[in-house]
Amino acid sequence: MNKAITEGLILTPPPFENGLDFWSRGDGTPGSGTYDGFASAAFVPADQDFGGCVEIQKTEATQTLRFMGETPLLPGCYLQIKARVKAVSGNLPGVRIAGFAGGAGGVEVAGVTTVGPTTTLTSYGDVTEITAIVGTGARPGVTLAWGPQALYGHFGIDLTGANGGVIRVDDIEITDITSAFLRTLMDWVDVTDYGAIGDGVTDNVAAFEAADAAANGREILVPGGTFYLADSVTFESRTRFQGNVTMPDDKYLALSQNFDFDTYASAFGDEVEGFKKAFQALLKQSTHDSLDLCGRSIGLREPIDMQACVPDIDTFSQRRVIRNGQFDAIPDTAWDTDDVTSSATYQLSNKRRLSGVSNVANIAVGSLIEGNGVGREVYVTARNVSAQTLDISEELYDAVGSQTYTFKRFKYLLDFSGFEYVSQFNISDIDFRGDGLASCVLIAKAGLIWHFRDCYLNRPKDRGITSIGLGCQGMMIDRCQFISNEQGLLAQDREVIGYNINANDCKIRDNRATKWGHWAVVHGSGHMFQGNHFFQGDDVPNGSRKAGLVLTRANSKIVISSNYIDNCFIEWSNEHDAEPDQSNELSFGSLSIIGNIFTSARSGPWFRFIVVKPYGPRHFINGLTVTGNTFKALDGAIDRVDAVDDSIASLDVNRMRNVEWTGNTYHAVGQWTASPMMLQFTENTPLQTWTCDFDGWMPFGGLLRNVTGIVPLGPLRNTGNVPEYVTSYADVMQGANGTEAWLTWPVAVSGRVNVVGRVDNPF
């Protein structure tokens, strides 16, 4: 910027040869005396150093020389006043640049510095150059900072010190040097001004840090080029990248003022690398708790090993958030599942370990285990190659001894399995687009309070969210959409699982899930499922259905409330128990199913909404509440809503306790279920023993173990049709199926009674 060029301003005063009447002996204002005809001053036309110049003898305490023209001052414009002087004879004076600060109406601006530093001449004939810079702003290097009130100046020099000396002064120059202040005038600092070199080789850490220190609230500019950083760098100022940076994997770049994905993608010149380094900084610095993806979609050709992004950290326990963006799988062989077949031995002495594992080095941590006696969603949590052992996430229900297993390592968009422990990690407003190529998220081996909220788990190839260990303790999944990649398959052919849980105390709320093999496989206890809608039907008449929720712990402490459970069922098993036979431990219990909407459409009459599947004998139910639910079948009735899958073992109905199955509504269900259940029985012929059959009404085909109420409706009459005021006692568990109550009266009577029966004992 140069006002003399851009606006045609005339800044430099006319040369002395044009006449000394332009030069004032005072402050330069109109009316002040000039040097024209002044006895102690004269124009010298041919000085050997200056050419034309003025010679002045100092006769006053402060001898002034001022240009009488008004040199304009504009905001943001900085002027340099330059004078070249030399002593000729007499006393040696001091010399300084000076001026008159003119404001509106010609009034002098008060309170500003009008003189520059004094230079004392020390010899005769030597040329000395004195300068000063004037401007409206008090920037470093500005000698005369006059503020916005100064509109013009009368500039020149002052002679100070002893009188009598004679000096010569060359033509005074005034130039626009605003360009020297351009960097400080702009709102950015260029790292190359501090020594940065964008050759991809030179270490620029010191230059970057110097630029940050100098920014003082301004933005830092990293211009075109590739700037290598050998160590971690933290910018306290906002940073803009035209060029890129490179740095070792274990070093981080912290952008304190603009910590977001857009900036990191620009910094590293690559979206994936930018995300990795942004995640690294998220864990390495404390100035931000969340990484904003700025609504961007990040295309991935391979899984991101999240722990490898932060190689010096394998545990992390502070709240962190990744939010507002999309991860999209791009076709590549890197998404292919790794399958390894290996023999191994399972022993009850160590229920979460496989030993004697052949080919163990090729089995990756996080692999799904398949084999005889292996329940659903059992994963490898650790590997010891030298000992040939694998630690596993769940117990195996029937695998004692040696056999061949298959280990499948699915590939996830974000893979946190390299972390030993991560807690308080939130993923919010993220669309995970597996597109049938990749699974979505694999969480850390251990941890606490992972939280997925307002996310889309969109068409994963194998799994939506996987926990291979106890990282799911206290996990929360809220308001997420689970969209299967198997929409077009028949229900029985679907295999992809939405998520699994191994630990305790998870909260799953207000989600929507469509057409999965299973929406969830759930171990642990203390879970709550509330307000979810998951459906798994198809358009085939009399179609088969699979479980939406698979509960794999018998005594579960689980509440399933206010959900819409559509064309799938709740399966309750103990398949993650290495000793699945009931042997004095807690059996099936502590499950509450309250206020849900169960719907089936085009299902076969054999379909059931609640299924208990024991993996060993002698199990019973002790603590089950099923109340306030609606069970409805469309386009074809179903026989009943509950069943025992006895393909492995049956349920011991002789030991039912604390079963509360009441207040439910049934539509197009052939046989209702209730306990306690009130039925009405009528005998038209007087009998002393009445048979009251509750067959079909008791949950899970259970026995009639108790009668808690017998109330006659109207009089009971004897053989003479005379009312009898009598009571009866009940013998329960009678008949071939144990579902009859025999009511015995003192005399033969006829009439009508209400009988309340239960499938359980209270204690």
264-310 pLDDT per residue, tens: 999 999 999 999 999 999 999 888 999 999 999 999 999 999 999 99
Q: Could you count the other beta carbons within 10 Å of the beta carbon of residue 67?
A: 22
Query: Within 13 Å of residue 664, how many CA atoms lie on the same side as its CB?
Result: 31
Task: Name residues of the chain where pLDDT drops below 50.
Answer: 1-6
* Spatial separation of the C-alpha atoms in residues 440 and 300, rounded to whole Å: 12
Which pLDDT score, from 0 to 100, does residue 689 have? 98
Quick one: pLDDT at residue 137? 76
261-268 helix and 271-284 helix, angle to the nearest 10 degrees? 120
The 10s digit of each residue's pLDDT in 510-552 is 999 999 999 999 999 999 999 999 999 999 999 999 999 999 9
Residue-level pLDDT at 286: 82
Identify the burial level of 145 via C-beta atoms within 10 angstroms of its C-beta, where 0-12 means exposed, 13-18 middle and 19 or more buried: middle
Q: How far apart are CA 740 and CA 731, in angstroms?
A: 8
Q: Are strands 239-241 and 219-222 parallel, antiparallel or unpaired?
A: parallel
CA distances from 456 to 164, 433, 479, 481 (A): 91, 8, 9, 5
Q: Where are the beta strands (DSSP E) in 412-532?
A: 412-415, 421-423, 425-433, 439-442, 447-448, 451-453, 456-458, 463-466, 476-478, 481-483, 497-501, 507-509, 512-514, 518-522, 528-530
Strands (E), 125-248: 128-135, 144-145, 152-160, 166-170, 173-176, 188-190, 199-203, 219-222, 226-228, 233-235, 239-241, 244-246
Question: Residues with Cβ < 8 Å from 215, sequence gap 6 or more?
Answer: 189, 236, 237
Looking at residue 186, its pLDDT comes to: 62
Prior bond of 331 cis (ω within 30°) = no
Phi, psi of 305 (to 5 degrees): -80, 100
* CA 332 – CA 433 distance, rounded (Å): 14
Instruction: Return the half-sphere exposure (C-beta side, CA atoms, 13 A cut-off) of residue 267.
Output: 28
* Cα dist from 532 to 522, 528, 562, 619, 695, whole Å: 15, 11, 7, 30, 34
Under DSSP, is residue 253 helix (H, G, I), strand (E, B) or coil?
Answer: strand
At 206, list the tokens: 């010191």
In this prediction, residue 8 carries a pLDDT of 52
Nearest in space to 3 (alpha carbons), one of 104, 68, 76, 69? 76
Which of 551, 36, 199 is closest to 207 using CA atoms? 199
pLDDT of residue 516: 98
